[in-house]
């Protein structure tokens, strides 16, 4: 379980949840440029980071409207579960804590299913969000689209691991391995620099 400070740091690092909060508060508009930026940020994440980013962002939406619909409350619960299941191992790996490869693989294998699950819950809640706020509905649509796309990427990663019987899971896939300093996490796995800065 993350402390409030760790959760705040994770939220800040992943950036999108902060933008979502600003839009929910009316501090930022969901302009075409902002929509493009949100898509780009999430699509550049590895699937595990994308899942956490989407869950943290969807949780902010669900928290705002959880009294409007039972399905919205369910989405909040599911977001909490995903954050609980993934955030600790993600942060431990980012800070170079020793992790068991089998534990990491077991966790990674759940990512495609969890991405699809959160996408479906977001889509179920689109009707109520369309009534509440056009910008919030737009945010939800971005999160759902990216969740579906990242699920396909995660499936591909898992297939590669299964085919190669790769023993060093923590060095080859998804979880950040280099640094977790302030607001910057470099992500490996593509052969190019995909550092994300908040």
For residues 130 and 18, the answer to whether their CB atoms sit within 8 Å is: no
Domain ranges of the chain: 4-197
Mean pLDDT of the chain: 82
| Per-residue confidence band for 88, with pLDDT thresholds at 50, 70 and 90 | confident
> What is this structure's pTM?
0.81
Q: Reply yes or no on whether the pLDDT at 193 is more than 70.
A: no
Q: 170 or 156: whose pLDDT is higher?
A: 156
Predicted local confidence at residue 1, as pLDDT = 67
For residues 49 and 176, the answer to whether their CB atoms sit within 8 Å is: yes
- Distance between CA 92 and CA 18 in Å, rounded? 22
What's the pLDDT tens digit per position in 10-48?
Answer: 999 999 999 999 999 999 999 999 999 999 999 999 999
Q: 106 or 35: whose pLDDT is higher?
A: 35
User: Encoding tokens for residue 179?
Assistant: 């640094």
The sign of the dihedral angle between the CA atoms of 129, 131, 132, 136 is positive
Predicted local confidence at residue 2, as pLDDT = 78
Alpha-helical (H) ranges within the chain are 4-14, 16-24, 32-44, 47-65, 70-94, 101-108, 111-124, 126-132, 134-164, 169-172
Residues 6+ positions from 119 with CB-CB distance below 8 Å: 143, 144, 147, 148, 151
Return the minimum-mean-pLDDT range out of 30-34, 62-66, 114-118, 191-195: 191-195
Nearest one of 137, 32, 143 to 79, comparing CA atoms: 143
């Amino acid at each position: 379980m993350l402390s409030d400070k760790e959760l705040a740091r994770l939220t800040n690092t992943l950036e999108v949840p902060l933008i979502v909060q600003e839009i929910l508060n009316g501090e930022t508009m969901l302009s075409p440029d902002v929509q493009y930026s949100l898509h780009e940020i999430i699509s550049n994440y590895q699937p595990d980071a994308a899942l956490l980013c989407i869950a943290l962002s969807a949780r902010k939406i669900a928290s705002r409207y959880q009294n409007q619909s039972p399905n919205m409350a369910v989405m909040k619960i599911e977001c909490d579960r995903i954050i609980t299941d993934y955030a600790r191992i993600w942060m431990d790996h980012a800070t170079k804590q020793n992790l068991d490869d089998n534990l990491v693989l077991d966790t990674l294998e759940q990512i495609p299913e969890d991405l699809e699950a959160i996408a479906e819950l977001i889509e179920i809640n689109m009707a109520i969000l369309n009534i509440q706020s056009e910008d919030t509905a737009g945010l939800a649509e971005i999160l759902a689209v990216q969740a579906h796309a990242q699920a396909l990427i995660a499936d591909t990663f898992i297939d590669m691991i299964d085919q190669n019987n790769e023993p060093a899971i923590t060095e080859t896939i998804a979880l950040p391995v280099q640094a977790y300093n302030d607001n910057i996490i470099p992500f490996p796995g593509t052969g190019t620099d995909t550092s994300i800065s908040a």
